[in-house]
Chain A
């Protein structure tokens, strides 16, 4: 694109431009489609899943994939496809809500830190450094072990481990935005700090946050699966991909389908989120466009 395009396309804003660029990226669009499909599955799981996720059928244990059970059945005779469909709810819910929590907390901390600078900045960032010094997964495991297993605690455990990342990203953008003329202008007309931060600063650093969030969500889903695999996450009978893997692993050599399908579900979701995240980064950063 050239400066010419901007003149002829004056009405289109930053976001519609980005969308246009994203649409040209086939891989990212495909990933987006996969994710939309996943969201639809999660929302309508009750209606579209062929079986209940918890009903055990003792006459059909360990069935290999067949027409009746496309992904086979597990050690209690439960339909694996239905369990994966219901499991997508937990994965997406945990992934999404932990990222949103992390963004809100990290974003505010980062914005305050970047905007006020000096001692405030120093305090907050050193605290973040301490958190960052502990590997994210280790932190999440210890938090999950400390809190009782369950959905909300899982979200908290993953979110806390992600907070420093967001606060750094936001702080960096705030530092560049802070020096812009429009911020000075807002300060001149007497806008409060809160208004400046929330109305002028934060909306302008949305782009890096969105990219970080998409990539971070992949990490969060993976962490949720890992924690559930270790027995620290979602408790039975609620299906979760990680815990499905965990209980299937003892049968891995006899009944491959029990581990293969939940594993594939995780792989595909993580892959799609990562490709989409890359695509978004390219699309949202005008300097990168070719």
Chain B
């Protein structure tokens, strides 16, 4: 009896082991995988290209949608949906639309779709910082494959801006038919088409067989939302996902030992900062902002929270962006001087402030460090954590005192970084979330935007950065580097400084 039981036991265990090892064997000998699974930290806010500029959405939308022009790996502007273009004069651009481009619903791309898309952009509050001085009313389709874009004023970086996902081209028929469900049924021209979106879980895309360009090499593309950084890392280690985005710096040393995993450390277009709501007391006090800036040790933040990955901020925009000012005085951490500035600002006995953040772990860690550092100069900082959506709403409404955020200059051009973030006309939704206003800065930023001569443009940005750096609308603390962990079997992995990837080029 007990013999029999023992034998059964052994058999049972063996059966489980065999069953458990089955998929591994299949994966090793079978056909190559037909799905790339990507773990991202946040759900997209919307898949309507004009509905948001947030980066999780941009990453997915850039697989589905395309723009008139795009940047190649070296950062040059190259044709995409526009086969070629002419600059007739500084305010007139003529785009020749590529023929035979199919949308995911089978419709052919025409200049009318481009016109329709431009009208949608003009109505979107998210696009205004990107579209600059495009004169939407006078831009028009000349014939089936020609689109003329007018500018109200010359705009130096416009082609860079037209690479941004918020200027994506949609299908007029598809977009109109989707109606209010437009963010759930995106129809574009990209290498992947939309299949499904399970909120807070995953977005599934599949290869678009009629794609005009080089077709995707792997059939399916799944973006899973895994908010917990540690879980993303575990998933990529166990093979649950092929790519883990936003890997925490603390995991790098262990992942480096795993030979099945590769790590990509990529410069980004982003700068992280603690912003002040500058148009409201007490943050309208420049001395107070300077005191806080001086009381924060940004080198320690880079070392402790980011484990030495990334660069302690040296300017309002990072070195990966053209025209960053490398000659600014280094950020000075000096608690004694900060205390003095604080009493000059009118707070000899310190004060109580709030710092608000979303649930991003690194930002919370930064907040906790800043809280401890500011306590030493007599500032009692309360850290408030809000859910991301509510947080952004409060930021845009100007309800906060200090908040932790970052800005990704998706276009790689200083105009998008500085004009959107610091020009008076861009308050709130436009991108100037610190509600900072300085006529001199406005003038310089307008100059940089209107002029077409690169050298004078960059000089204007140099000077604007000098003023912004000195007046501290934000404590700039880091030019981060993005850490990505991906399976060593995934070939041609790529990620660009704006956070997007060309997944259609990757294969197993």
The yes or no answer to A253 lying at the interface (CB within 8 A) is yes
Within 8 A of B (CB), among A233-255: 235-237, 247, 249-254
The yes or no answer to A97 lying at the interface (CB within 8 A) is no
The yes or no answer to A55 lying at the interface (CB within 8 A) is yes
The yes or no answer to B450 lying at the interface (CB within 8 A) is no
The yes or no answer to A231 lying at the interface (CB within 8 A) is yes
Smallest CB separation, A200 vs chain B (Å): 48
Choose one: A235, A249, A250, A253; the contact of B383 (CB below 8 Å).
Answer: A235
Give the chain B neighbours of A250 by CB distance below 8 A.
228-230, 248, 250, 361
Number of interchain pairs (Cβ within 8 Å) = 53
Contact B230 A237 (CB under 8 A): no
Contact B371 A237 (CB under 8 A): yes
The yes or no answer to B143 lying at the interface (CB within 8 A) is no
The yes or no answer to B254 lying at the interface (CB within 8 A) is yes
Give the chain A neighbours of B371 by CB distance below 8 A.
236-237
Contact B359 A231 (CB under 8 A): yes
Given A235-B383, A249-B230, A253-B230, are A55 and B372 also a contact pair (CB < 8 Å)? yes
Choose one: B230, B300, B304, B383; the contact of A75 (CB below 8 Å).
Answer: B304
Smallest CB separation, B244 vs chain A (Å): 14
Choose one: A56, A235, A254; the contact of B372 (CB below 8 Å).
Answer: A56
Contact B369 A254 (CB under 8 A): no
Smallest CB separation, B230 vs chain A (Å): 5
Contact with A along B226-246 (1 / 0, CB 8 A): 001110000000000000000
Given A56-B372, A76-B368, A253-B254, are A61 and B230 also a contact pair (CB < 8 Å)? no
Contact A76 B230 (CB under 8 A): no
Give the chain A neighbours of B359 by CB distance below 8 A.
231
Choose one: A76, A231, A252; the contact of B369 (CB below 8 Å).
Answer: A76
Contact B383 A58 (CB under 8 A): no
Count residues of chain B with CB under 8 A from any CB of chain A. Answer: 25
The yes or no answer to A54 lying at the interface (CB within 8 A) is yes
The yes or no answer to B279 lying at the interface (CB within 8 A) is no
Give the chain B neighbours of A77 by CB distance below 8 A.
304
Within 8 A of A (CB), among B347-387: 359, 361, 364-365, 367-369, 371-372, 375, 382-385
The yes or no answer to B303 lying at the interface (CB within 8 A) is yes
Contact B369 A251 (CB under 8 A): no
Contact A76 B383 (CB under 8 A): no
Q: Across the two chains, which residue of chain A brings its CB closest to B373?
A: A56
Smallest CB separation, B203 vs chain A (Å): 25
Q: Across the two chains, which residue of chain A brings its CB closest to B237?
A: A253
Given A250-B248, A250-B250, are A76 and B384 also a contact pair (CB < 8 Å)? no
Smallest CB separation, A269 vs chain B (Å): 25
In angstroms, Cα B367 to Cα A251, docked, is: 18
Within 8 A of B (CB), among A61-78: 61, 75-77
Smallest CB separation, A128 vs chain B (Å): 32
Count residues of chain A with CB under 8 A from any CB of chain B. Answer: 20
Smallest CB separation, B358 vs chain A (Å): 11
Contact B304 A76 (CB under 8 A): yes
Give the chain A neighbours of B229 by CB distance below 8 A.
250
Smallest CB separation, B388 vs chain A (Å): 13
In angstroms, Cα B108 to Cα A173, docked, is: 79
Contact B368 A237 (CB under 8 A): yes
Smallest CB separation, A126 vs chain B (Å): 34
Contact A252 B304 (CB under 8 A): no
Give the chain A neighbours of B383 by CB distance below 8 A.
235-236
Within 8 A of A (CB), among B2-54: none
Smallest CB separation, A156 vs chain B (Å): 19
Smallest CB separation, B295 vs chain A (Å): 14
Contact B254 A54 (CB under 8 A): no
Give the chain B neighbours of A76 by CB distance below 8 A.
304, 365, 368-369, 372
Give the chain B neighbours of A61 by CB distance below 8 A.
304
Smallest CB separation, B52 vs chain A (Å): 24
In angstroms, Cα B371 to Cα A55, docked, is: 11
Give the chain A neighbours of B300 by CB distance below 8 A.
58
Given A250-B250, A252-B230, are A236 and B304 also a contact pair (CB < 8 Å)? no
In angstroms, Cα B354 to Cα A235, docked, is: 12
In angstroms, Cα B365 to Cα A55, docked, is: 14
Q: Across the two chains, which residue of chain B brings its CB closest to A250?
A: B230
Within 8 A of B (CB), among A6-61: 54-56, 58, 61
Contact B384 A235 (CB under 8 A): yes
In angstroms, Cα B367 to Cα A253, docked, is: 24
Give the chain B neighbours of A252 by CB distance below 8 A.
230
Give the chain B neighbours of A236 by CB distance below 8 A.
364, 367-368, 371, 383
In angstroms, Cα B363 to Cα A231, docked, is: 14
Contact with A along B172-199 (1 / 0, CB 8 A): 0000000000000000000000000000
Choose one: A58, A247, A249; the contact of B304 (CB below 8 Å).
Answer: A58
In angstroms, Cα B359 to Cα A231, docked, is: 9
Smallest CB separation, A233 vs chain B (Å): 11
Choose one: A75, A231, A237, A254; the contact of B254 (CB below 8 Å).
Answer: A254
In angstroms, Cα B362 to Cα A75, docked, is: 11
In angstroms, Cα B71 to Cα A100, docked, is: 65
Q: Across the two chains, which residue of chain B brings its CB closest to A148?
A: B384
Give the chain A neighbours of B385 by CB distance below 8 A.
149, 231, 235
In angstroms, Cα B368 to Cα A286, docked, is: 53
Give the chain A neighbours of B254 by CB distance below 8 A.
253-254
In angstroms, Cα B365 to Cα A235, docked, is: 12
Contact B365 A54 (CB under 8 A): no
Q: Which 4 A-B pairs have the closest CB atoms?
A: A250-B230, A56-B372, A236-B368, A58-B300
Interface residues of B (CB under 8 A from A): 228-230, 248, 250-251, 253-254, 300, 303-304, 359, 361, 364-365, 367-369, 371-372, 375, 382-385
A-B contact pairs, 9 of them (CB 8 A): A56-B369, A235-B385, A237-B368, A237-B371, A237-B372, A250-B230, A250-B250, A253-B254, A254-B254
Interface residues of A (CB under 8 A from B): 54-56, 58, 61, 75-77, 149, 231, 235-237, 247, 249-254
Other contacts beyond A76-B372, A149-B384, A236-B383: 19, CB < 8 A = A54-B372, A54-B375, A56-B304, A58-B300, A58-B303, A61-B304, A75-B250, A75-B365, A76-B304, A76-B365, A231-B385, A235-B383, A235-B384, A236-B367, A237-B368, A247-B364, A250-B229, A251-B250, A254-B253
